[in-house]
Amino acid sequence: MQSRNELKKRAESAIKKSAAYGEDFDLDTLGIASTEIATSENLQDLDTETKKKLLNVGVVPSGEGRVGSFLMLDNAISHKSLYDSSLELMSTHEAMEKYYWLKDYSWKLVAVDTDKYTATSYLENANGYFIRAPAGQKAKLPVQTCLLLGSRNVSQTVHNIIIVEEGAELDVITGCATKNGIEKAMHLGISEMYVKKGATLNFTMIHNWAEQVGVRPRTVVHLEEGATFISNYISLKPVRSIQSYPTVKLEGRGAVTRLSTIAVAHPGSELDLGSRAVFNAPDTRAELISRTITTGGKIIARGEMIGNAINAKGHLECRGLVLSNEGMQRAIPILEANVEDIELTHEAAVGKIARDQVEYLMARGLSEDEAVGMIVRGFLDFGMRGIPEELKDDIDKTISQIGMKAM
Amino acid sequence: MLEINNLSVEVGGKRILTNINLRVEMGYTHVLFGPNGAGKSALLMTIMGFSGYNAVEGEIIFKGEDITHMPVNERAKLGIGVMTQRPPNMTGIKLGEFVKLVSKKNINPEELAKPLDMIRFLDRDINVGFSGGEIKRSELLQLAAQKPDLYLLDEPESGVDLVSIEQIGSTIKKLLFGDATCAGERRKKGKSALIITHTGQILDYVEADKGYVLSNGMMLCTGNPRELLNQIKSKGYKGCIRCNREMS
Ligand SMILES: Nc1ncnc2c1ncn2[C@@H]1O[C@H](COP(=O)(O)OP(=O)(O)OP(=O)(O)O)[C@@H](O)[C@H]1O
Ligand SMILES: [Mg+2]
């Protein structure tokens, strides 16, 4: 049992600890985002600009097509609504007060002393969303949550916990965005997700940050026997730096996970995106897929699979397109087998768009831009399931802009 | 329609076509014979404008315009369409979606695909995992959507089974002749074609007006396509080469 004091001590000892990867930000130059912000009863009452920001990250202000909505603006819980009483949605602080047992989940998957970002989040008593689907409950529509940065020169500290109890099914959409005019800020996001026996969690995360924002998510997912975790991660807009390495621990027999990533690094962006599956139980499966594009920024696509139990099967696929001479793509796949009877494979490819493909389309009358756009769209479209409809327009628009810039 | 004058082409710094002269008039179909490696495909690729095929001498005129150095898509817009021998895999691009786009959304891809038995391929990524014959049919489907005035067809019948050859042959015939009912009308309204063939099977479906024999990057002779074919069948390309030498 980790006492509060002990956690605090560990966090304090890690407050200057650099992360294993990514640009090392000095958090002391930034303040901590405010927890004192007026709440909005209705997301529709937000200004037009903000509503558009929400929509572009899959968060529908009207709440239509969703069973619940949650908005965190800076460090304040600014909106919460729930239409399905069988689910629970509240702030992590509220949940910690309400449920004594939650201390057995909080800061159990993510270690407080992982690095300065987790340490700061702990010491600042980060708040966030708590979502729980009780045993056997199958939510018909997704819960949507939005983490919005509204002030400059601050760190937003977030701590989310999701628990999907036995046999339950839950869809969560989390959209992260920045209000206009935020030149410099940090987002530190701790997420701990528990998917219990036979349960399913579909998790879609969309990032739309801004040119000078640093982003350090720290996510760990725990899967019990027969549990399923499907994750889609999308980041197509400019950002200064994102470094994340979500880890899925397959702890129960037959657990399954699939993590898909699509990301674009614009000039000036550094994306260090990984995903990791740890097979700690027999008959577990994982598929880690990433499709990344650089139009001038740096991308490191990491993927790691660690096989510790028999009959585990995993496939890792990293594909990267380089659309500019300034850009950089690096794929780093790691496979580790610690037992016999295990099957881990990987496929990695980085490179330019093939000239013969572009000309093949041009030979039927498409312009060079149209041809590149079509190839890029085809590259990114590999059948992610559960992408919110509302997003597709914006994704299409972004992709055609990428196609134009590529030449 | 198409006029090639003294064309020489290099690929990777190596000369593969020398001093080619060729002319395809409106509404005429010409066929191109020649041994493997003669440069037939290279000639079509150069006419379409694919990169890597550098015209170092001579000119290509299409509809009166010098297209020798024109980008591929502008040639397509002017009315040239090609079926290449080895098209690339187009992962992520669905055949049906592309056919629709090429037709400027005027066409129902299913209707077009039906006579070619390609309906079940509309949802597949173009060329990915297609068999040899399926590639030919997919290329023809795209051409049917594109509706060029000059068809450049690289061995449309090679690797195609007997049933498909019927579909391919009659589709090409329909594309070239449209609903022209007589030879005169075809000259006025019909499409032109330059077709590469080894077996001449395509001649059973499309009447060709003129044949060329290309060997070692040079045009050996021209003549009646059936006569040339029979000659090649009986005496081989060596016969052509010898005959050409005796003539000059
Ligand atoms: N990229 C290249 N680099 C080097 N040589 C090439 C290249 N492309 C074509 N060639 C050569 O040019 C010559 C002509 O090739 P081409 O494909 O035009 O032949 P072809 O007449 O179409 O033959 P086939 O009947 O076998 O299709 C061949 O010797 C070929 O190897
Ligand atoms: Mg050839």
> Pick the residue with more confidence: A21 or A406?
A21
Which of A383, A401, A387 lies closest to A175, judged by CA? A387
For residues A72 and A78, is the Cβ–Cβ distance under 8 A?
yes
Same domain, A190 and A152: yes
Same domain, A327 and A391: no
The DSSP-derived string for B226-246 is: HHHHHHHHHHHHHHHHHHHHH
Strand pairing report for A129-133 and A88-91: antiparallel
Give the integer Cα–Cα distance in Å for A166 and A197. 5
With cut-offs at 50, 70 and 90, classify the pLDDT of residue A234. very high
Pocket test for ligand 1, best of B18, B33, B36, B41 (most atoms within 8 A of CB): B41
| CB–CB contact B71 A362 (8 Å) | yes
Average pLDDT over residues A314-335: 93
Same domain, A149 and A223: yes
Q: For the segment A204-221, what is each residue's pLDDT rounded down to a tens digit?
A: 999 999 999 999 999 999
- Answer yes or no: is pLDDT of A155 > 60: yes
> Chain A, 320-359: which have a CB under 8 Å from a chain B CB?
354-357, 359
Please tell me the residue having the least CA distance from ligand 1 atom 26.
Answer: B36
Among A353, A374, A399, which residue terminates a domain?
Answer: A353
With cut-offs at 50, 70 and 90, classify the pLDDT of residue B238. confident
Pocket test for ligand 1, best of B15, B40, B45, B53 (most atoms within 8 A of CB): B40
Please tell me the residue having the least CA distance from ligand 1 atom 19.
Answer: B37
Give the best-scoring range by mean pLDDT among A38-42, A309-313, B195-199. Answer: A309-313
> Pick the residue with more confidence: B146 or B246?
B146
Residue of A357, A379, A381 with shortest CB distance to B88: A357
Same domain, A204 and A301: yes
Same domain, A267 and A188: yes
In chain A, residues with a C-beta closer than 8 Å to the C-beta of B145 are 364
Same domain, A268 and A147: yes
Centroid of ligand 2 to alpha carbon of B170 (angstroms): 22
Per-residue confidence (pLDDT) for residue A405, from 0 to 100: 58
Same domain, A110 and A191: yes
Give the integer Cα–Cα distance in Å for A93 and A80. 14
Does ligand 1 come within 6 angstroms of the Cβ of B48? Answer: no
- Contact of B77 with chain A, judged by CB distance below 8 Å, is answered with yes
The number of CA neighbours under 13 Å toward the Cβ of A50 is 18
Quote the tokens at residue B12.
């990777």
Low-confidence winner among A328-342, B64-78, B109-123 (lowest mean pLDDT): B109-123
Range of the domain at B156: 2-247
With cut-offs at 50, 70 and 90, classify the pLDDT of residue A407. very low
Which of A173, A141, A177, A169 lies closest to A160, judged by CA? A173
Quote the tokens at residue A114.
């992982």
Same domain, A386 and A315: no
> Pick the residue with more confidence: B179 or A304?
A304
Q: For the segment A239-257, what is each residue's pLDDT rounded down to a tens digit?
A: 999 999 999 999 999 999 9
Chain A interface, best mutation among B72, B104, B126, by max A CB count within 10 A: B72
Bridge partners, residue A353, by sequence:
none
Q: A with B: how many residue pairs have Cβ under 8 Å apart?
A: 63
Average pLDDT over residues A9-38: 94
Average pLDDT over residues B113-131: 92
Same domain, A371 and A278: no
- Give the dihedral sign, CA B29/B47/B16/B132: negative
Centroid of ligand 2 to alpha carbon of B135 (angstroms): 15
CATH number at residue B157: 3.40.50.300
Centroid of ligand 2 to alpha carbon of B196 (angstroms): 8
Same domain, A319 and A403: no
Greatest extent of chain B over all pairs of C-alpha atoms, in Å: 55
What residue has token string 């989040």? A121
Q: What is the mean pLDDT of chain A?
A: 93
How close, in Å, is residue B177 to chain A by CA atoms?
Answer: 21
Please tell me the residue having the least CA distance from ligand 1 atom 27.
Answer: B36
In chain A, residues with a C-beta closer than 8 Å to the C-beta of B48 are 363
Q: For the segment A126-136, what is each residue's pLDDT rounded down to a tens digit?
A: 999 999 999 99
Give the integer Cα–Cα distance in Å for B21 and B80. 18
Same domain, A283 and A372: no
| CB–CB contact B91 A378 (8 Å) | yes
Does ligand 1 come within 6 angstroms of the Cβ of B39? Answer: yes
Give the integer Cα–Cα distance in Å for B198 and B202. 10
With cut-offs at 50, 70 and 90, classify the pLDDT of residue A403. low
Distances (CA, A) of B40 to A44, A212, B246: 65, 56, 24
Same domain, A56 and A101: yes
* Tally of domains within chain A: 2
Burial of A34 (0-12, 13-18, 19+ CB in 10 A): middle
The ipTM (two decimal places) reads: 0.94
For residues A42 and A80, is the Cβ–Cβ distance under 8 A?
no
Per-residue confidence (pLDDT) for residue A226, from 0 to 100: 98
| CB–CB contact B88 A354 (8 Å) | yes
Give the integer Cα–Cα distance in Å for B241 and B213. 9
Per-residue confidence (pLDDT) for residue A49, from 0 to 100: 93
Tell me the three state secondary structure of residue A224.
coil
| CB–CB contact A356 B98 (8 Å) | no
For residues B86 and B54, is the Cβ–Cβ distance under 8 A?
no
Which of B164, B167, B166, B168 lies closest to B153, judged by CA? B168
Range of the domain at A358: 354-407
- Answer yes or no: is pLDDT of A281 > 50: yes
Per-residue confidence (pLDDT) for residue A378, from 0 to 100: 87
Q: For the segment B131-177, what is each residue's pLDDT rounded down to a tens digit?
A: 988 999 999 999 999 999 999 999 999 888 888 898 899 899 988 88
Chain A interface, best mutation among B53, B73, B94, by max A CB count within 10 A: B73
- Answer yes or no: is pLDDT of A1 > 80: no
What residue has token string 């001498």? B57
Q: What is the mean pLDDT of chain B?
A: 90
Task: Give the distance, in angstroms, between the CA of residue B51 and the centroid of all CA atoms in the same chain.
Answer: 18
> Pick the residue with more confidence: B87 or B231?
B87
Per-residue confidence (pLDDT) for residue A217, from 0 to 100: 97
Burial of B200 (0-12, 13-18, 19+ CB in 10 A): buried
Task: Give the distance, in angstroms, between the CA of residue A305 and the centroid of all CA atoms in the same chain.
Answer: 18
Residue of B77, B92, B145 with shortest CB distance to A381: B92
At residue A321, what are phi and psi to the nearest 5 degrees? -110, 135
| CB–CB contact A359 B92 (8 Å) | no
* Tally of domains within chain B: 1
- Answer yes or no: is pLDDT of A78 > 50: yes
Per-residue confidence (pLDDT) for residue A383, from 0 to 100: 66
Q: Which residue of B has its CA nearest to A368?
A: B73
Can you point out the beta strands (E) in chain B? Answer: 2-11, 14-24, 29-33, 53-62, 65-66, 80-83, 90-94, 125-126, 150-154, 192-196, 210-215, 218-223
- Give the dihedral sign, CA B96/B97/B100/B101: negative
Q: Which residue of B has its CA nearest to A364?
A: B76
